[in-house]
Amino acid sequence: MKQLAGKRALITGSLRGIGFGIAEVFAREGAEVVLHGLGDEASISAATSRIKELGAPKVEVFTHDLRDSKAIELLMSDVLASGAIDILVNNAGIQHTAPTAEMPPEKWDEIIAINLSSAFHTMRVALPKMAERGFGRVINIASVHGLVASVAKAPYVAAKHGLVGMTKVVALEYANVGSRESGGVTINAICPGWVETALIESQIQVRADKFGGDRNQGIADLLSEKQPSKRLSVPSDIGEIALWLCSNATHNVTGTSIPVDGGWTAQ
């Protein structure tokens, strides 16, 4: 029996990167997968095909703009119109780096909206319905920057710290819902450090160039500044942790923030 057979998961920001890695793991374990993100027809078609190939009995795709609270309400309404949400993964996020005094105000607004406020809006709709059934899983993809800071990332760090804090609040609100047998309703955050996605490839190449094009040396050099393991995670690593959080055995794992950072925050 596949672990997520009969379950339906909505994953925001899941056409690529960490979100897609989570979708792949969930599909392998038999979940119906609701993808979300911005992409052209080709990328949407490729993502849909891959998730079906991995075993998802049903795949849907939505492209609502998470900067807009009204669009998020419509997203949740559209998703719920075709079935319950058993698992909600708030993964969508954007980044922009600049010193605080030089940060464009519109970038602050966008990052807070997508990285923090969108999770509030999805949770406030999804959680009451999860509570009615006595089972639900919310997994907020925060960041190591939800636990510690780095320069030139004020909106990102603020949003991710906020997401970790909101995860704790909402976990307390739903802690006594359901039972061990039903699985309960849990809300947790995963806090990745360096993850191998297209987002960081340019940084890797810059470092690799210092070592005659040796990519592995470039990665080790990049990570040596903060991540003691000097190893990248891959999106499926995050997916496997998300899968564990979906099991009934984790009915008492709630309000946590799980670092996946090679020792970064242990220093």
Active site residues: 156
Give the C-alpha distances (Å, rounded to integers) separating 217 from 205, 207, 208. 10, 8, 6
Residue labelled with tokens 């600049």: 98
SS3 state of residue 147: coil
Nearby residues of 105 by Cβ (< 8 Å), 6 or more positions away: none
* β-bridge mates for residue 219, sequence order: none
Rama region for 68: left / alpha / beta (φ>0; ψ in -120 to 50; rest): beta
One-letter identity of residue 145: H
Q: Can you give 156-169 as a three-state secondary structure string?
A: HHHHHHHHHHHHHH
Residue 131, token pair as written in the block: 């509570």
